[in-house]
Amino acid sequence: MRGLALPMLTACGLALLTGCGGAGSGFGADPASEVPTAVVLDAGVGGQVQAFEVDPGGTAPLEVTAVGYKGGQLFNNIIPDEMFVWAARFVNPATDPPSIATYTVGAAPNGFKTCPAVPKTTPFVPILQQFGGGTPSAYPGYTLLPTAQSAATVFLGAVPGIAAPYCLLIQATSVNGSVIGAHTVIVSHSP
C-alpha cells in the first residue's frame, strides 16, 4: 500500500483541484511568507484533467502546474501565487520504489502500470517554459527553463534522441520551504 501512496495522493489532489476548479481560499496573509505543508501537481488545462502522458511525436509538451497547500484540508488552504523550483529525471523501475516506478493511464479506475526499463543513456531532461527568452527547445514557442528559476507552471516534453517508451519523474520544490510534489510521467505513443 505504501508503494501507491505518491500516485494516490496526486490522484486525490487532482480530483480535489478538478472539484474546486483549481481555486480555493488563501489565509489572507502575504503568500510569500506562507510555507506549504503539501504540494500537488496537476496536468490539467483549462479545468480539464489530463493524464501525465507525453506523446513523443506530439507537437506540444505536457503542461504541469504545482499548487502549494497549508494545513490538513488540501482543498481549503491553497497558497496563492506560490512558486516552485523544478527538476526532472528518468525513472528506473529496477531501483526506484513502486510509488515512483508506476504511472496511471487515463482517468480512474484504469489503474497503475509499471514503467518500462530505463533507456541505456539518460541525458539531461529539459523542463520548458512557454514564450520565455532563452535556449530554444524541440517544441516551437517553448524554451528551456533556466536552472533554479522558479515557476508555478512548466512544460515537459519527450527527451530529444531517446526512443520511447520511458518514464520521467517531475518534481516541484516550494521556494518557501523544502516541500516537494512529484509525479511520474509516461512518454509513449500508446501508454
pLDDT in tens, 118-150: 999 999 999 999 977 778 898 999 999 998 899
CA pair distance 182, 185, nearest whole angstrom: 10
CA pair distance 128, 132, nearest whole angstrom: 9
Is-contact 11 181, C-beta < 8 A?
no
Q: What percentage of the chain carries pLDDT values higher than 70?
A: 73
**Whether the model pTM is above 0.75:** yes
CA pair distance 156, 185, nearest whole angstrom: 9
> How many structural domains are present in the chain?
1
pLDDT of the residue at 107: 59
Kindly tell me if the per-residue pLDDT of 40 is higher than 50.
yes
Query: Each residue of 10-27: pLDDT tens digit?
Result: 433 333 333 333 333 334
Nearest to 172 by CA among 42, 61, 78: 42
Its domain, for residue 12, covers: 2-187
- Identify the weakest region by mean pLDDT among 42-46, 141-145, 166-170: 42-46
Nearest to 178 by CA among 76, 17, 39: 39
8: left (phi over 0), alpha (psi -120 to 50) or beta: alpha
Is-contact 183 14, C-beta < 8 A?
no
